[in-house]
Amino acid sequence: MSHRSLASTSTLAVVAVAVLVALLAPSSATGQTQSPATKAPPAAKSWTPPQTPDGKPDLQGIWTDNTLTPFERPKGLGTKEFYTEQELAEATKKARQGSPGEEAELGAARQQAVRYDLELYGFDPGKLRFSSNRTSLITGPEGVVPPMLPAAKERNAELAAKNKGHEFDSYANRPLSERCILMGQERIPMTPGANEGNLLQIVQGPGYVTLLHEIDHSTRVIPTDGRPHVPQNMRLWQGDSVGHWEGNTLVVDTTNFTNLTAYRGSSEKLHLIERFTRAADDRMIYQFTVEDPATWAKPWTAEIPWTKSKGPVYEWACHEGNTMISTILRGARVAEAEAAKKGK
């Protein structure tokens, strides 16, 4: 939210209030969700996951994916995929002091353009943690998103150019997150922040797994009975998800995204495979592979450990409380009127 720049100072003030409100909102939830599990032991083979009454692996509960682990591997680390315990302890200490370098992604706890007392809003730096020994959430020797194909770069540049100079013209020019259509962490695949209320609740019924994302009350009702995707002409912001069980793992396949969903610049050919495996009573391994031949030359995979949380999951009514869009547009119209007056 620190990227916004507007001409009108009065608008800036209102936007600052909106940012503050946005910061406040997740804090109440995060305050209670941290669990200091910094180690990432590989799933113990002897541990048998509990089952639902109808005999499926039981993934239910309230989970948090908060972590300091950055999405992409810091450049200096080369092919180093894991930290030693000592390196991890050092990186955690640095992050808690607010100067993590490239090794950690501080999320909402990072230095803000306007300095708020983050502790006041529940962002306790002492609770920041890495959820595993991984140096990046993206797995493999490279640890970064593969380079974007030239045609995809061009496509995205064209879109950005079209919006340039029109950012404040209309609601349609604003990012999907601001419009409460797809908030950053509501998007799939689900990626974490360091300290942002990001609870996920799983409820299972016969033939279905449901996943409620606290952010924007985003709910996925995923059939696991082997049915096919909805017809290709039905394009959905969050795509169409169908699942099946492979041993103790829930595998979810998602296609049918819109050409505006654009996950990290993806096209409507985006194909997502997510894998949910319970590794311990209080630990889930969430893994996803992103495929989009129109955007990246090869698929790429990330792995994110989830930790059990007490909750509760709050209602996140984004659109209902959205004063940001009207404030931004009103500010832009005032700025234009003032500029026109000066020009005369």
> Is residue 172 at the binding interface for another protein, with CB under 8 A as the rule?
yes
State the DSSP string of 276-300.
Answer: EEEEETTEEEEEEEEE-TTTBSS-E
> Is residue 156 at the binding interface for another protein, with CB under 8 A as the rule?
no
> Out of 20, 80, 116, 208, which residue is the one contacting another protein (CB under 8 A)?
208
What's the closest the beta carbon of residue 148 comes to another protein, in angstroms? 27
> Is residue 180 at the binding interface for another protein, with CB under 8 A as the rule?
yes
Contact stretch for another protein (CB under 8 A) within 54-62, 82-90, 107-115, 282-290: 54-62
> Is residue 4 at the binding interface for another protein, with CB under 8 A as the rule?
no
Contact stretch for another protein (CB under 8 A) within 137-145, 151-159, 210-218, 246-254: 210-218
> Is residue 223 at the binding interface for another protein, with CB under 8 A as the rule?
yes
What's the closest the beta carbon of residue 56 comes to another protein, in angstroms? 10
> Token pair for residue 295?
């955007």
What's the closest the beta carbon of residue 216 comes to another protein, in angstroms? 8
Of 90 and 281, nearer to another protein (C-beta) is 281
> Is residue 203 at the binding interface for another protein, with CB under 8 A as the rule?
yes
Query: What is the C-alpha R_g of the chain?
Result: 21
> Is residue 333 at the binding interface for another protein, with CB under 8 A as the rule?
yes
Q: Are 287 and 302 in contact (CB under 8 A)?
A: yes
What's the closest the beta carbon of residue 316 comes to another protein, in angstroms? 9
Q: Are 240 and 222 in contact (CB under 8 A)?
A: no
> Is residue 217 at the binding interface for another protein, with CB under 8 A as the rule?
yes
> Is residue 210 at the binding interface for another protein, with CB under 8 A as the rule?
yes
Q: Are 262 and 152 in contact (CB under 8 A)?
A: no
Contact stretch for another protein (CB under 8 A) within 39-47, 172-180, 276-284, 290-298: 172-180
CA atoms within 13 A on the CB side of 226: 1
Helix axes 9-30, 324-343, angle to 10 degrees: 170
Size of the site for another protein (CB under 8 A): 50
Q: How far is CA 200 from CA 83, 213, 243, in A?
A: 27, 5, 18
Give Cβ neighbours of residue 252 (< 8 Å, ≥ 6 apart). Answer: 209, 222, 241, 242, 243, 272, 273, 274, 275, 276
- Which string of b and e fits 99-122 if b means at least 16 CB within 10 Å? ebeebbbbbbbbeeeeeeebeebb
Q: Residue type for 324, please?
A: M
> Out of 38, 52, 133, 289, which residue is the one contacting another protein (CB under 8 A)?
52
What's the closest the beta carbon of residue 286 comes to another protein, in angstroms? 19
What's the closest the beta carbon of residue 86 comes to another protein, in angstroms? 40
> Is residue 218 at the binding interface for another protein, with CB under 8 A as the rule?
yes
Can you name the residues that pair with 236 across neighbouring β-strands? 257
Contact stretch for another protein (CB under 8 A) within 33-41, 114-122, 275-283, 324-332: 324-332
Q: Are 239 and 270 in contact (CB under 8 A)?
A: yes
> Is residue 198 at the binding interface for another protein, with CB under 8 A as the rule?
no
Long-range CB contacts for residues 178-184, cutoff 8 Å, separation at least 24: 178/322, 178/324, 178/325, 178/328, 179/322, 179/325, 180/216, 180/318, 180/319, 180/322, 181/237, 182/216, 182/237, 182/238, 182/261, 183/215, 183/216, 183/218, 183/318, 184/215
What's the closest the beta carbon of residue 55 comes to another protein, in angstroms? 7
> Is residue 330 at the binding interface for another protein, with CB under 8 A as the rule?
yes
Q: Which stretches of the chain bind another protein, using CB under 8 A?
A: 28, 52-55, 60, 166, 168-172, 179-181, 201, 203-208, 210, 212, 216-219, 221, 223, 227, 230, 234, 236-238, 312-315, 317, 319-320, 325-326, 329-330, 332-333, 336
